[in-house]
Amino acid sequence: MAAEVKKNKKPIKISTIIIYIVLILWAVTTVFPFIWVFMNSFKESQDVISNSFAWPKAFELMNYEKAFRRVNIGMAYRSSLIISGSVMVGVMILSSMMAFAMTRYQFKGKKVVDALIKGSLMFPVFATIIPVMAMMVKVGFINSGNLLAAILPQIAGNLSFAAIVMMGFLRGLPLEMEEAAYMEGAGVAKVFTRIIIPLSKPSLATVAIFCFLWSYNDLFTQSCLVRKKALLPICALLKQISSIYGTDYGLMAAAVTLIVVPVMIVYILLQKNIVKGLTAGAVKG
């Protein structure tokens, strides 16, 4: 019996060992910077300078208290959640409607529209920020401190990616359920809301996660388009902290930790939805 068990065991290949070693090293180099910042967030600035790699003497929350008292991180979180949440919802609605139209209807110029959607991914935000700022100034959003100045451009910037993900998923869905609904007298709106949306939950989850995180981390757009200090989102506020309290390394570490923690929580809790949504519709049949 023991001999049979030994025979069934597959020998470990050297290539497999090398792959695991590389993955472990990559994981360590990825996780270590966050651990380092987290440890230093409990130290005073002089302790960070003297030995930043040492374990903190005591886990005191003085740096976090300073972050909320001096910098008003709570209001920055509010602005970030409003901007990122609005961008996420807007992109989900518009991208699903675009994908439904592009995959279920034939119309003149469809190939041109499809090419424009894909081609728009090649334009970085730096190439469009000047005309976008001019439009936001013209409608009065920037001067009045309206958060729509950041929300609308971010919706437009994320829409192409979201539409491509949704189109890839919808092309893999069978048409029989929709045809049966049309035969029963259902309209386009009912088919879209009762059939397409429920079946598209994996891809919608992926679109929601990516758009929320991209908007949350979009320092460039938010720094350019949100000018009112009281409405600065969390990433733009970090830039301000670094310029004002750049020598207070404990406060800087605490601020970075507060910014990174929500992103890590979202990734940890929703990583299955990210992979499932990106792979759904990739293989037909």
Question: Are both 151 and 28 inside the same structural domain?
Answer: no
Residue 3 lies in a domain: no
Run of H or E including 170: helix 148-171
For residue range 113-140, list pLDDT tens digits in order: 999 998 888 888 888 888 998 998 888 8
Number of H helices, E strands in the chain: 15, 0
User: Domain holding 236: CATH number?
Assistant: 1.10.3720.10
- Kindly state whether residues 35 and 135 are assigned to the same domain: no
Residue 181 placed within a domain: yes
HSE-up (13 A, CA, CB side) for residue 13: 3
Domain count for the chain: 2
Q: Is 73 exposed, middle or buried (0-12, 13-18, 19+ CB in 10 A)?
A: buried
| Tokens describing residue 118 | 């894909």
Q: Range of 266's domain?
A: 63-279
Q: Which amino acid is at 173?
A: L
Each residue's pLDDT tens digit, 167-220? 988 988 888 888 888 888 888 899 999 889 998 888 888 898 889 888 988 888
Dist CA 185 CA 192 (whole Å): 14
Please say whether the beta carbons of 153 and 225 come within 8 A.
Answer: yes
- Residue 241 has a CB neighbour count (10 Å cut-off) of 21
d(C-alpha 60, C-alpha 86), whole Å = 36
Say if residue 124 is in the same domain as residue 84. yes
Which pLDDT belongs to residue 277?
60
Q: Is 4 inside any structural domain? A: no
Q: Considering the entire predicted model, what is its pTM?
A: 0.79
176 and 55 fall within a common domain = no
In a domain, residue 6? The reply is no
**What percent of the chain stands above pLDDT 70?**
90
Q: How far apart are CA 178 and CA 181, in angstroms?
A: 5
Does residue 91 lie within any of the structural domains?
A: yes
As a whole number of angstroms, the distance between CA 223 and CA 142 comes to: 11
